[in-house]
Structure 1
Protein backbone atom coordinates (compact mmCIF):
# COMPACT_ATOMS: atom_id res chain seq x y z
CA UNK A 1 0.00 0.00 0.00
CA UNK A 2 0.95 3.61 -0.47
CA UNK A 3 0.15 5.43 2.79
CA UNK A 4 0.26 9.16 3.40
CA UNK A 5 0.72 10.28 7.01
CA UNK A 6 -0.53 13.82 7.62
CA UNK A 7 1.54 15.23 10.47
CA UNK A 8 4.18 12.64 9.72
CA UNK A 9 6.99 14.47 11.53
CA UNK A 10 5.15 14.88 14.86
CA UNK A 11 5.08 12.84 18.07
CA UNK A 12 2.73 10.16 16.73
CA UNK A 13 3.44 10.79 13.07
CA UNK A 14 7.07 9.72 13.14
CA UNK A 15 6.13 6.43 14.81
CA UNK A 16 3.34 5.92 12.29
CA UNK A 17 5.74 6.46 9.40
CA UNK A 18 8.24 4.08 10.97
CA UNK A 19 5.59 1.39 11.56
CA UNK A 20 4.25 1.69 8.02
CA UNK A 21 7.73 1.39 6.53
CA UNK A 22 8.50 -1.60 8.75
CA UNK A 23 5.33 -3.26 7.44
CA UNK A 24 6.58 -2.83 3.88
CA UNK A 25 4.37 0.04 2.80
CA UNK A 26 5.36 2.95 0.58
CA UNK A 27 5.04 5.98 2.86
CA UNK A 28 4.59 9.68 2.20
CA UNK A 29 5.01 12.00 5.21
CA UNK A 30 2.86 15.12 4.84
CA UNK A 31 4.00 18.27 6.62
CA UNK A 32 4.78 21.88 5.83
CA UNK A 33 8.46 20.87 5.79
CA UNK A 34 7.74 18.47 2.92
CA UNK A 35 5.66 21.03 1.01
CA UNK A 36 2.18 19.83 1.99
CA UNK A 37 0.08 22.18 4.14
CA UNK A 38 -3.24 20.86 5.48
CA UNK A 39 -4.38 24.35 6.54
CA UNK A 40 -4.24 26.01 3.11
CA UNK A 41 -4.25 22.84 1.02
CA UNK A 42 -1.03 23.66 -0.81
CA UNK A 43 0.80 20.58 -2.09
CA UNK A 44 -1.85 18.05 -1.06
CA UNK A 45 -2.92 17.04 -4.57
CA UNK A 46 0.64 16.22 -5.55
CA UNK A 47 1.41 14.45 -2.29
CA UNK A 48 -1.69 12.23 -2.43
CA UNK A 49 -1.18 11.08 -6.01
CA UNK A 50 -1.35 7.28 -6.05
CA UNK A 51 -2.05 7.06 -2.31
CA UNK A 52 -4.30 4.24 -1.07
CA UNK A 53 -4.83 5.44 2.51
CA UNK A 54 -4.35 8.65 4.48
CA UNK A 55 -3.61 8.57 8.20
CA UNK A 56 -4.31 11.95 9.78
CA UNK A 57 -2.39 12.63 13.00
CA UNK A 58 -2.17 16.40 12.58
CA UNK A 59 -2.40 18.47 15.73
CA UNK A 60 -2.63 22.01 17.03
CA UNK A 61 -1.70 23.41 20.44
CA UNK A 62 -4.62 25.39 21.85
CA UNK A 63 -7.22 25.32 24.61
CA UNK A 64 -9.54 27.53 22.57
CA UNK A 65 -12.53 25.60 21.29
CA UNK A 66 -12.99 28.03 18.40
CA UNK A 67 -9.37 27.74 17.28
CA UNK A 68 -9.36 23.95 17.64
CA UNK A 69 -12.59 23.57 15.67
CA UNK A 70 -11.32 25.86 12.91
CA UNK A 71 -8.03 23.99 12.59
CA UNK A 72 -9.43 20.47 12.55
CA UNK A 73 -12.38 21.28 10.29
CA UNK A 74 -10.12 23.09 7.82
CA UNK A 75 -7.42 20.40 7.81
CA UNK A 76 -9.97 17.62 7.47
CA UNK A 77 -11.85 19.38 4.67
CA UNK A 78 -8.63 19.92 2.72
CA UNK A 79 -7.39 16.37 3.21
CA UNK A 80 -10.72 14.83 2.24
CA UNK A 81 -11.10 17.02 -0.84
CA UNK A 82 -7.59 16.23 -2.05
CA UNK A 83 -8.12 12.57 -1.17
CA UNK A 84 -11.30 12.40 -3.20
CA UNK A 85 -9.59 13.97 -6.21
CA UNK A 86 -6.69 11.51 -5.89
CA UNK A 87 -8.95 8.49 -5.47
CA UNK A 88 -7.84 7.70 -1.91
CA UNK A 89 -9.82 4.71 -0.66
CA UNK A 90 -9.42 5.07 3.10
CA UNK A 91 -9.11 8.04 5.45
CA UNK A 92 -7.98 7.23 9.01
CA UNK A 93 -8.35 9.95 11.65
CA UNK A 94 -6.73 9.73 15.08
CA UNK A 95 -8.96 10.96 17.89
CA UNK A 96 -9.17 10.67 21.70
CA UNK A 97 -11.03 8.15 23.86
CA UNK A 98 -13.92 9.27 26.04
CA UNK A 99 -14.47 12.78 24.67
CA UNK A 100 -18.13 12.45 23.66
CA UNK A 101 -19.35 14.34 26.72
CA UNK A 102 -16.57 16.95 26.63
CA UNK A 103 -17.46 19.16 23.68
CA UNK A 104 -15.25 21.97 24.98
CA UNK A 105 -11.74 23.37 24.62
CA UNK A 106 -9.38 21.23 22.52
CA UNK A 107 -11.77 18.29 22.53
CA UNK A 108 -14.39 20.38 20.70
CA UNK A 109 -11.95 20.43 17.80
CA UNK A 110 -11.48 16.66 17.84
CA UNK A 111 -15.22 16.06 17.90
CA UNK A 112 -15.64 18.50 15.01
CA UNK A 113 -12.95 16.55 13.14
CA UNK A 114 -14.80 13.29 13.70
CA UNK A 115 -18.04 14.80 12.40
CA UNK A 116 -16.29 16.19 9.33
CA UNK A 117 -14.67 12.85 8.55
CA UNK A 118 -17.97 11.00 8.92
CA UNK A 119 -19.75 13.50 6.65
CA UNK A 120 -17.09 13.28 3.94
CA UNK A 121 -17.17 11.22 0.75
CA UNK A 122 -13.97 9.23 1.40
CA UNK A 123 -14.44 5.86 3.20
CA UNK A 124 -13.14 6.36 6.73
CA UNK A 125 -12.15 4.95 10.08
CA UNK A 126 -11.97 6.99 13.28
CA UNK A 127 -9.38 5.50 15.64
CA UNK A 128 -9.45 6.84 19.19
CA UNK A 129 -6.53 6.44 21.60
CA UNK A 130 -5.72 7.43 25.16
CA UNK A 131 -3.42 10.29 26.09
CA UNK A 132 0.18 9.58 25.15
CA UNK A 133 2.98 8.87 27.63
CA UNK A 134 4.61 11.93 26.04
CA UNK A 135 1.75 14.21 27.19
CA UNK A 136 3.08 15.14 30.63
CA UNK A 137 6.46 16.12 29.22
CA UNK A 138 4.80 18.28 26.58
CA UNK A 139 2.92 20.17 29.26
CA UNK A 140 5.98 20.50 31.48
CA UNK A 141 8.14 21.86 28.68
CA UNK A 142 5.50 24.48 27.91
CA UNK A 143 5.51 25.95 31.41
CA UNK A 144 8.08 28.33 32.83
CA UNK A 145 9.38 28.62 36.38
CA UNK A 146 10.07 26.20 39.23
CA UNK A 147 6.40 25.25 39.70
CA UNK A 148 4.26 23.40 37.16
CA UNK A 149 0.48 23.35 37.41
CA UNK A 150 -1.32 20.33 35.99
CA UNK A 151 -5.06 19.82 35.54
CA UNK A 152 -6.69 16.98 37.44
CA UNK A 153 -6.78 14.31 34.76
CA UNK A 154 -7.58 10.63 35.19
CA UNK A 155 -6.24 8.76 32.19
CA UNK A 156 -4.91 5.49 30.81
CA UNK A 157 -1.90 6.68 28.83
CA UNK A 158 -0.42 4.76 25.92
CA UNK A 159 2.92 4.98 24.12
CA UNK A 160 2.86 7.01 20.90
CA UNK A 161 4.89 4.19 19.33
CA UNK A 162 2.04 1.75 19.97
CA UNK A 163 -0.50 4.26 18.64
CA UNK A 164 1.47 4.57 15.41
CA UNK A 165 1.56 0.82 14.90
CA UNK A 166 -2.16 0.60 15.69
CA UNK A 167 -3.01 3.23 13.08
CA UNK A 168 -1.11 1.33 10.40
CA UNK A 169 -3.04 -1.84 11.22
CA UNK A 170 -6.29 0.12 11.03
CA UNK A 171 -5.30 1.49 7.62
CA UNK A 172 -4.50 -2.01 6.37
CA UNK A 173 -7.90 -3.41 7.34
CA UNK A 174 -9.87 -0.88 5.32
CA UNK A 175 -12.65 1.52 6.23
CA UNK A 176 -14.90 0.34 9.07
CA UNK A 177 -16.21 3.64 10.43
CA UNK A 178 -14.95 3.23 13.98
CA UNK A 179 -12.02 1.16 15.20
CA UNK A 180 -11.73 -0.21 18.70
CA UNK A 181 -10.25 2.31 21.11
CA UNK A 182 -6.63 1.90 22.18
CA UNK A 183 -5.53 2.72 25.73
CA UNK A 184 -2.51 2.02 27.89
CA UNK A 185 -2.06 -0.84 30.37
CA UNK A 186 -2.55 1.14 33.61
CA UNK A 187 -4.74 3.84 35.10
CA UNK A 188 -2.74 6.97 35.89
CA UNK A 189 -3.21 10.47 37.29
CA UNK A 190 -1.51 13.23 35.29
CA UNK A 191 0.03 14.95 38.33
CA UNK A 192 1.61 11.68 39.52
CA UNK A 193 2.94 10.94 36.03
CA UNK A 194 4.52 14.41 35.77
CA UNK A 195 6.19 14.04 39.17
CA UNK A 196 7.60 10.63 38.27
CA UNK A 197 8.99 11.95 35.01
CA UNK A 198 10.72 14.86 36.72
CA UNK A 199 12.15 12.55 39.38
CA UNK A 200 13.40 10.13 36.73
CA UNK A 201 15.00 12.99 34.79
CA UNK A 202 16.63 14.41 37.92
CA UNK A 203 14.77 17.72 37.60
CA UNK A 204 13.81 19.46 40.83
CA UNK A 205 10.48 21.07 40.24
CA UNK A 206 7.24 21.21 42.17
CA UNK A 207 4.05 20.00 40.48
CA UNK A 208 0.64 21.15 41.67
CA UNK A 209 -2.68 19.69 40.59
CA UNK A 210 -5.78 21.82 40.05
CA UNK A 211 -9.29 21.01 38.90
CA UNK A 212 -10.17 23.15 35.91
CA UNK A 213 -13.63 24.78 35.81
CA UNK A 214 -16.44 24.08 33.39
CA UNK A 215 -17.29 21.12 31.20
CA UNK A 216 -13.66 20.65 30.17
CA UNK A 217 -12.41 20.40 33.76
CA UNK A 218 -15.24 18.08 34.77
CA UNK A 219 -14.50 15.85 31.81
CA UNK A 220 -10.79 15.61 32.62
CA UNK A 221 -11.52 14.64 36.23
CA UNK A 222 -14.39 12.28 35.45
CA UNK A 223 -12.35 9.28 34.38
CA UNK A 224 -14.05 9.08 30.98
CA UNK A 225 -10.68 9.63 29.28
CA UNK A 226 -9.58 6.23 30.54
CA UNK A 227 -11.73 4.62 27.88
CA UNK A 228 -14.10 1.68 28.13
CA UNK A 229 -13.62 -1.91 29.21
CA UNK A 230 -13.78 -3.09 25.60
CA UNK A 231 -10.74 -1.05 24.55
CA UNK A 232 -7.61 -2.60 23.11
CA UNK A 233 -4.76 -2.36 25.59
CA UNK A 234 -1.17 -1.35 24.89
CA UNK A 235 1.70 -3.11 26.60
CA UNK A 236 4.17 -0.33 27.45
CA UNK A 237 3.63 1.22 30.88
CA UNK A 238 4.58 4.81 31.59
CA UNK A 239 7.57 3.77 33.71
CA UNK A 240 8.78 1.41 31.00
CA UNK A 241 8.44 4.25 28.49
CA UNK A 242 10.55 6.49 30.73
CA UNK A 243 13.38 3.97 30.46
CA UNK A 244 13.02 3.56 26.71
CA UNK A 245 14.74 5.34 23.83
CA UNK A 246 11.48 7.14 23.04
CA UNK A 247 11.81 9.31 26.14
CA UNK A 248 14.18 12.24 25.79
CA UNK A 249 15.56 12.55 29.30
CA UNK A 250 15.53 15.90 31.03
CA UNK A 251 12.54 18.23 30.69
CA UNK A 252 13.88 21.73 30.42
CA UNK A 253 12.49 24.43 32.66
CA UNK A 254 12.14 27.72 30.84
CA UNK A 255 12.86 30.76 33.01
Structure 2
Protein backbone atom coordinates (compact mmCIF):
# COMPACT_ATOMS: atom_id res chain seq x y z
CA UNK A 1 0.00 0.00 0.00
CA UNK A 2 1.32 3.45 -0.93
CA UNK A 3 0.90 5.78 2.03
CA UNK A 4 1.99 9.42 1.89
CA UNK A 5 2.91 10.98 5.23
CA UNK A 6 2.58 14.77 5.28
CA UNK A 7 5.05 15.98 7.89
CA UNK A 8 6.86 12.70 7.36
CA UNK A 9 10.30 14.04 8.25
CA UNK A 10 9.26 15.32 11.70
CA UNK A 11 9.17 13.70 15.13
CA UNK A 12 6.01 11.62 14.70
CA UNK A 13 6.02 11.46 10.92
CA UNK A 14 9.46 9.89 10.68
CA UNK A 15 8.42 7.22 13.20
CA UNK A 16 5.27 6.48 11.19
CA UNK A 17 7.25 6.15 7.95
CA UNK A 18 9.66 3.76 9.63
CA UNK A 19 6.95 1.59 11.18
CA UNK A 20 4.90 1.36 7.98
CA UNK A 21 8.02 0.44 6.02
CA UNK A 22 8.79 -2.35 8.48
CA UNK A 23 5.35 -3.82 7.70
CA UNK A 24 5.91 -3.81 3.96
CA UNK A 25 4.07 -0.63 3.01
CA UNK A 26 5.44 1.99 0.65
CA UNK A 27 5.55 4.91 3.08
CA UNK A 28 6.54 8.19 1.44
CA UNK A 29 7.56 11.17 3.60
CA UNK A 30 6.34 14.52 2.28
CA UNK A 31 7.35 17.87 3.75
CA UNK A 32 9.02 21.12 2.66
CA UNK A 33 12.31 19.23 3.07
CA UNK A 34 11.23 16.86 0.28
CA UNK A 35 9.78 19.60 -1.96
CA UNK A 36 6.16 19.32 -0.79
CA UNK A 37 4.53 22.43 0.69
CA UNK A 38 0.90 22.15 1.75
CA UNK A 39 0.60 25.92 2.31
CA UNK A 40 1.59 26.87 -1.24
CA UNK A 41 0.53 23.60 -2.90
CA UNK A 42 4.02 23.08 -4.28
CA UNK A 43 4.61 19.41 -5.17
CA UNK A 44 1.31 18.33 -3.61
CA UNK A 45 -0.42 16.80 -6.62
CA UNK A 46 2.67 14.81 -7.51
CA UNK A 47 3.15 13.64 -3.92
CA UNK A 48 -0.34 12.19 -3.45
CA UNK A 49 -0.71 10.70 -6.94
CA UNK A 50 -1.25 6.95 -6.62
CA UNK A 51 -1.60 7.03 -2.84
CA UNK A 52 -4.17 4.81 -1.15
CA UNK A 53 -3.86 6.71 2.13
CA UNK A 54 -2.62 10.15 3.15
CA UNK A 55 -1.58 10.74 6.75
CA UNK A 56 -1.30 14.34 7.92
CA UNK A 57 0.90 14.91 10.98
CA UNK A 58 2.17 18.32 9.90
CA UNK A 59 2.18 21.24 12.31
CA UNK A 60 2.22 25.00 12.14
CA UNK A 61 5.62 26.72 12.45
CA UNK A 62 3.90 29.37 14.60
CA UNK A 63 1.45 28.81 17.47
CA UNK A 64 0.22 32.42 17.41
CA UNK A 65 -3.57 32.29 17.15
CA UNK A 66 -4.07 33.81 13.69
CA UNK A 67 -1.03 32.10 12.17
CA UNK A 68 -1.91 28.62 13.39
CA UNK A 69 -5.52 28.99 12.20
CA UNK A 70 -4.36 30.12 8.78
CA UNK A 71 -1.89 27.22 8.57
CA UNK A 72 -4.40 24.47 9.30
CA UNK A 73 -7.16 25.98 7.18
CA UNK A 74 -4.98 26.56 4.13
CA UNK A 75 -2.79 23.47 4.27
CA UNK A 76 -5.70 21.12 4.98
CA UNK A 77 -7.85 22.60 2.20
CA UNK A 78 -4.98 22.26 -0.29
CA UNK A 79 -4.24 18.72 0.81
CA UNK A 80 -7.85 17.54 0.63
CA UNK A 81 -8.28 19.09 -2.83
CA UNK A 82 -5.21 17.21 -4.07
CA UNK A 83 -6.50 13.98 -2.51
CA UNK A 84 -9.85 14.32 -4.28
CA UNK A 85 -8.14 14.74 -7.63
CA UNK A 86 -5.95 11.71 -6.95
CA UNK A 87 -8.80 9.53 -5.68
CA UNK A 88 -7.23 8.93 -2.26
CA UNK A 89 -9.43 6.56 -0.26
CA UNK A 90 -8.46 7.41 3.33
CA UNK A 91 -7.30 10.62 5.01
CA UNK A 92 -5.80 10.22 8.49
CA UNK A 93 -5.13 13.28 10.65
CA UNK A 94 -3.40 13.60 14.01
CA UNK A 95 -5.13 16.04 16.34
CA UNK A 96 -5.21 16.83 20.05
CA UNK A 97 -7.30 15.56 22.96
CA UNK A 98 -9.41 18.44 24.25
CA UNK A 99 -10.03 20.38 21.04
CA UNK A 100 -13.82 20.18 21.34
CA UNK A 101 -13.71 21.08 25.05
CA UNK A 102 -11.80 24.34 24.64
CA UNK A 103 -12.52 26.09 21.32
CA UNK A 104 -11.55 29.32 23.09
CA UNK A 105 -7.88 28.20 23.00
CA UNK A 106 -6.24 29.36 19.77
CA UNK A 107 -4.40 26.15 18.89
CA UNK A 108 -7.40 23.97 19.72
CA UNK A 109 -9.67 26.24 17.66
CA UNK A 110 -7.33 25.83 14.69
CA UNK A 111 -7.34 22.04 15.03
CA UNK A 112 -11.16 22.10 15.20
CA UNK A 113 -11.22 24.08 11.96
CA UNK A 114 -8.95 21.46 10.41
CA UNK A 115 -11.21 18.65 11.58
CA UNK A 116 -14.32 20.35 10.18
CA UNK A 117 -12.70 20.64 6.75
CA UNK A 118 -11.84 16.94 6.86
CA UNK A 119 -15.35 15.93 7.93
CA UNK A 120 -16.97 17.97 5.18
CA UNK A 121 -14.51 17.04 2.41
CA UNK A 122 -16.16 13.85 1.23
CA UNK A 123 -12.86 11.98 1.57
CA UNK A 124 -13.18 8.96 3.93
CA UNK A 125 -11.25 9.85 7.09
CA UNK A 126 -9.98 8.92 10.52
CA UNK A 127 -8.93 11.46 13.17
CA UNK A 128 -6.62 10.43 16.00
CA UNK A 129 -6.77 12.64 19.10
CA UNK A 130 -3.59 12.29 21.18
CA UNK A 131 -2.54 13.73 24.52
CA UNK A 132 0.76 15.60 24.93
CA UNK A 133 3.93 13.74 23.92
CA UNK A 134 6.68 12.85 26.39
CA UNK A 135 9.09 14.40 23.89
CA UNK A 136 7.54 17.85 24.43
CA UNK A 137 7.69 17.84 28.24
CA UNK A 138 10.80 20.02 28.45
CA UNK A 139 9.31 22.52 26.03
CA UNK A 140 6.10 22.70 28.07
CA UNK A 141 8.18 23.34 31.19
CA UNK A 142 10.25 26.00 29.44
CA UNK A 143 7.16 27.85 28.25
CA UNK A 144 5.80 27.88 31.81
CA UNK A 145 9.05 29.25 33.26
CA UNK A 146 9.54 32.69 34.77
CA UNK A 147 13.09 33.02 36.06
CA UNK A 148 13.67 29.92 38.18
CA UNK A 149 9.96 29.28 38.70
CA UNK A 150 7.83 26.89 36.63
CA UNK A 151 4.13 27.58 37.14
CA UNK A 152 1.84 24.59 36.59
CA UNK A 153 -1.85 24.10 37.21
CA UNK A 154 -2.95 21.06 39.27
CA UNK A 155 -5.14 19.73 36.42
CA UNK A 156 -5.16 16.16 35.12
CA UNK A 157 -2.40 15.26 32.66
CA UNK A 158 -1.87 11.98 30.76
CA UNK A 159 1.07 12.28 28.33
CA UNK A 160 2.10 9.58 25.87
CA UNK A 161 5.28 8.41 24.12
CA UNK A 162 5.61 9.55 20.51
CA UNK A 163 6.42 5.95 19.60
CA UNK A 164 2.94 4.86 20.65
CA UNK A 165 1.27 7.75 18.84
CA UNK A 166 3.07 6.73 15.66
CA UNK A 167 2.06 3.09 16.09
CA UNK A 168 -1.62 3.98 16.55
CA UNK A 169 -1.67 6.37 13.61
CA UNK A 170 -0.01 3.75 11.41
CA UNK A 171 -2.48 1.05 12.42
CA UNK A 172 -5.37 3.40 11.81
CA UNK A 173 -4.05 4.25 8.37
CA UNK A 174 -3.95 0.65 7.16
CA UNK A 175 -7.45 -0.08 8.49
CA UNK A 176 -10.83 0.96 7.15
CA UNK A 177 -11.70 4.66 7.52
CA UNK A 178 -13.46 5.38 10.81
CA UNK A 179 -15.25 8.48 9.54
CA UNK A 180 -14.86 9.54 13.15
CA UNK A 181 -12.34 9.95 15.96
CA UNK A 182 -10.38 7.85 18.40
CA UNK A 183 -8.47 9.06 21.46
CA UNK A 184 -5.06 7.85 22.67
CA UNK A 185 -3.19 8.64 25.87
CA UNK A 186 -0.42 7.36 28.08
CA UNK A 187 -1.01 4.64 30.70
CA UNK A 188 -0.50 6.96 33.69
CA UNK A 189 -2.66 9.86 34.84
CA UNK A 190 -0.98 12.63 36.85
CA UNK A 191 -1.62 16.10 38.16
CA UNK A 192 0.25 18.42 35.83
CA UNK A 193 2.09 20.20 38.65
CA UNK A 194 3.09 16.89 40.23
CA UNK A 195 4.25 15.42 36.93
CA UNK A 196 6.55 18.35 36.25
CA UNK A 197 7.82 18.49 39.81
CA UNK A 198 8.93 14.84 39.47
CA UNK A 199 10.13 15.34 35.90
CA UNK A 200 12.38 18.28 36.77
CA UNK A 201 13.87 16.27 39.62
CA UNK A 202 14.55 13.40 37.20
CA UNK A 203 16.16 15.84 34.75
CA UNK A 204 18.33 17.21 37.60
CA UNK A 205 16.78 20.58 36.78
CA UNK A 206 17.05 23.08 39.65
CA UNK A 207 13.99 25.12 38.72
CA UNK A 208 11.12 25.09 41.23
CA UNK A 209 7.63 23.99 40.20
CA UNK A 210 4.94 26.14 41.80
CA UNK A 211 1.32 24.98 41.84
CA UNK A 212 -0.77 27.75 40.31
CA UNK A 213 -4.44 27.10 39.44
CA UNK A 214 -4.30 30.12 37.11
CA UNK A 215 -1.20 29.02 35.19
CA UNK A 216 -1.67 29.15 31.43
CA UNK A 217 -1.22 26.33 28.91
CA UNK A 218 -1.45 27.28 25.23
CA UNK A 219 -2.45 30.75 26.40
CA UNK A 220 -5.37 29.78 28.64
CA UNK A 221 -6.22 28.38 32.04
CA UNK A 222 -7.02 24.69 31.84
CA UNK A 223 -9.94 23.00 33.59
CA UNK A 224 -9.73 19.67 35.40
CA UNK A 225 -10.39 17.34 32.45
CA UNK A 226 -9.37 19.48 29.45
CA UNK A 227 -6.15 17.57 28.70
CA UNK A 228 -7.22 13.98 29.36
CA UNK A 229 -9.33 11.62 27.22
CA UNK A 230 -12.81 10.35 27.93
CA UNK A 231 -13.88 6.79 28.55
CA UNK A 232 -12.91 4.29 25.89
CA UNK A 233 -9.58 5.84 24.93
CA UNK A 234 -6.74 3.62 23.73
CA UNK A 235 -3.97 3.68 26.35
CA UNK A 236 -0.28 3.15 25.68
CA UNK A 237 1.99 0.90 27.68
CA UNK A 238 5.15 3.00 28.01
CA UNK A 239 5.47 4.80 31.34
CA UNK A 240 7.29 8.12 31.52
CA UNK A 241 10.04 6.89 33.87
CA UNK A 242 10.87 3.99 31.57
CA UNK A 243 10.79 6.21 28.50
CA UNK A 244 13.08 8.75 30.14
CA UNK A 245 15.55 6.01 31.14
CA UNK A 246 15.62 4.69 27.56
CA UNK A 247 16.22 8.15 26.14
CA UNK A 248 19.03 8.71 28.63
CA UNK A 249 20.57 5.39 27.71
CA UNK A 250 20.67 6.39 24.06
Using structure 2 for the length normalisation, give the TM-score: 0.88
Whether contact under 8 Å (1:102, 1:216) holds in the other structure is: no
Runs of 4+ aligned residues of structure 1 deviating over 6 Å after TM superposition are: 213-216
SS at 1:180 equivalent:
strand
SS in 2 for 1:196: helix
User: Residues 6-155 of structure 1 correspond to what in structure 2 (within 5 A)?
Assistant: 6-60=6-60, 62-104=62-104, 105-141=106-142, 145-150=147-152, 153-155=155-157
Shift of 1:196: 2.7
- Normalised by the length of structure 1, the TM-score is 0.87
Q: Secondary structure at the match of 1:93?
A: strand
2:205 matched residue in structure 1: 203
User: Residues of 2 paired with 1:86 and 1:172: CA distance?
Assistant: 18
Q: Which runs of 5+ in 2 are unaligned?
A: none
Give unpaired runs (5+ residues) of structure 1. 250-255
Q: Give the direction of change, closer, same or farther, for the CA distance of 1:213–1:205 in structure 2 (3 Å limit).
A: closer
Deviations 1:153-172 (A, max 9, x none): 42211111101010111111
| 1:111-144 residue CA offsets vs partner (Å, 9 max, x unmatched) | 1111011111321111111221223222235568
Distance 2:146 2:11 in 1: 22
Alignment coverage as a number of residue pairs:
247
Change (3 A) 1:215 1:234: closer
**Residues of 2 paired with 1:116 and 1:29: CA distance?**
23
1:252 matched residue in structure 2: none
Question: Does the CA-based 8 Å contact 2:132-2:159 persist in structure 1?
Answer: yes
Partner residue in 1 for 2:244: 242
1:106 shift after superposition: 0.9
Shift of 1:147: 3.4
Name the CA distance, whole Å, in 2 between partners of 1:76 and 1:56: 9
Instruction: Tell me if structure 2 keeps the 8 A contact 1:68–1:108.
Output: no
SS of residue in 2 equivalent to 1:29? strand
Q: Does 28-37 or 143-152 show the bigger shift?
A: 143-152
Task: Answer whether contact 1:148 1:207 (CA < 8 A) is retained.
Answer: yes
Per the alignment, do residues 153 and 127 of structure 1 end up closer, same or farther by CA in structure 2, a change over 3 Å counting? same
Query: Distance between the aligned counterparts of 1:50 and 1:197, measured in 2?
Result: 45
What secondary structure is seen at the aligned counterpart in 1 of 2:112? helix
1:190-222 residue CA offsets vs partner (Å, 9 max, x unmatched): 33333333322222222334424799735x232
